[in-house]
Structure 1
Amino acid sequence: MLINNRNIISKGGNVLLQKRKKIKKVYILLLIFIIALATCYIIFKLKPQKNEYSDNTKVLDTITQALDLNTIKYNYNNIVTVKKDLSIMDIKIPFTNKSFVIKYSGIINAGVKPEDIEVLSNKEDSISIEIKKCSILDHYIDDENIYLYDVKNSIFNKVDTQEVFEDMSKYKKEYESKVIEEGFMDEVKSSTESSLKSSLINIGYKDVKITFK
């Protein structure tokens, strides 16, 4: 039986050619898929994304956390000389004068309260904030380390320990005024501004404006 070799070669060539066409088609489809995928990725990246912090409530939550971490502490030691006497109608009563020296330690915490912050504008990657004021948040006196020196009593007016503790609130206010006059609040403002800017930039803002009223 004779076999036509020419026909066999012709059929084999056609099969090989068809396989090549299929492979070529697969490559083309794969290339189109890759190009489409890359195009979608580029479009997604270039498309302006909605700021998840466009809601002022979320921004204020972030600001509050930053404020909690940015409380400025002022540690100090103070000595107060106290002189008192009894009086009637602003007339001093003889033999009622007393004096003593108080030595104590305190800690002043200063910063910004969340209610003193207002978001003026919040658009995409830009935000503007106004701080109404910086203030003293807490002022602690170490009651266990209050010392009295040079106590001088009078017959009719002796030094009372309870009286000393009651007077401490006045000394605290006096010292707060002193540190504020020395520029303590300027340090609080600078630290608060730096901390808030850093926190807001970390969540995606590029233009952060902070002003103090």
Structure 2
Amino acid sequence: MKKLSGRVVSVVAVLATVALVLVLVRPAIFERGERTIDSTSIGGEFNDIAQLATEEYVYSSVGKFDDEGLRLLNVRVPFTGKNFLVSYEGKVTAGIKDAGQITVDVDDAAQTFTVRLPRAEVLDSTWTEGSSEVWDQTMNPINQIKVEDVTEFVDSRREAEKQKAVDDGLLDRAQASAEELVRSHAKALIRGTSMEDYEVKVESAT
């Protein structure tokens, strides 16, 4: 029985060696199988939106994913870690999330036309399609890079870039742009009407 097992192992090893030699010497013998990408829709619906985007933050960055892997007695075990380096571009958009919350108050006695705006919010944070490029990644058969690793990296970087945009004043700029945009539209709206001489005021929620 042991001899038979040994022969089987030997045969498998020989076949694997022959296959490797053929790949190196006569690569034309082997052909890649067909690659198929498919999807199935499991649901979809239309939703009304009334967003008013007034400012965007465009960025170009490099991010790194690093998983140390296993540690033994506080010492990193070789060949158990994984990492990759990615450059990417994207943008963070801000403005009025629901334009339906914008209200208008006309005071004929005071001759004022007042528009009230909600506070600006981050509307979206996206990567530019096709902009990402992998510069360095480990090829570790023990702890391979998985789809979940890439997804986690993308989500974390997208959130980090959004926070950086907010810290750099994105929302304040979006609010100011919204006020100026609404003011110019309000003046155009009442031009040529009985309210043409009314004072246009724009107020933002606190």
With the shorter chain as reference, the TM-score category is 0.5 to 0.7
| Alignment of 1:112 onto 2:79 | no
2:201 corresponds to: 208
2:87 corresponds to: 103
Alignment coverage as a number of residue pairs: 145
Q: Residues 53-132 of structure 1 correspond to what in structure 2 (within 5 A)?
A: 68=52, 71-86=54-69, 94-95=77-78, 96-114=80-98, 117-119=101-103, 121-124=105-108, 125-132=111-118
Query: Structure 2 length as normaliser, TM-score?
Result: 0.59
Larger Rg: 1
Query: Structure 1 length as normaliser, TM-score?
Result: 0.57
Q: Residues of 1 paired with 2:75 and 2:149: CA distance?
A: 19
SS in 1 for 2:77: coil
Q: Residues of 2 paired with 1:210 and 1:98: CA distance?
A: 52
Contact (CA 8 Å) 2:186, 2:200: kept in 1 or not?
no
Query: Which residue identity lines up with residue 113 of structure 1 in the other structure?
Result: K
CA offsets, 1:102-139, max 9 Å, x none? 11111222111235734273323423343332111122
Do the aligned partners of residues 199 and 115 (structure 1) sit closer, same or farther apart at CA in structure 2, a change above 3 Å counting?
Answer: closer
Do the aligned partners of residues 115 and 195 (structure 1) sit closer, same or farther apart at CA in structure 2, a change above 3 Å counting?
Answer: closer
Do the aligned partners of residues 97 and 190 (structure 1) sit closer, same or farther apart at CA in structure 2, a change above 3 Å counting?
Answer: same
Structure 1 residue ranges without an equivalent (≥5): 1-63
2:165 corresponds to: 179
Q: Residues of 2 paired with 1:120 and 1:145: CA distance?
A: 42
Displacement over 4 Å in runs of 4+: none
SS in 1 for 2:130: helix
Contact (CA 8 Å) 1:84, 1:99: kept in 2 or not?
yes
Do the aligned partners of residues 93 and 120 (structure 1) sit closer, same or farther apart at CA in structure 2, a change above 3 Å counting?
Answer: farther
Q: Which has the higher helix share?
A: 1
1:25 corresponds to: none
Structure 2 residue ranges without an equivalent (≥5): 1-49, 191-197
CA offsets, 1:145-192, max 9 Å, x none? 211122134442122356314531221011000111011212111111
Query: Which residue identity lines up with residue 97 of structure 1 in the other structure?
Result: G
Contact (CA 8 Å) 1:131, 1:212: kept in 2 or not?
yes
Contact (CA 8 Å) 1:101, 1:151: kept in 2 or not?
yes
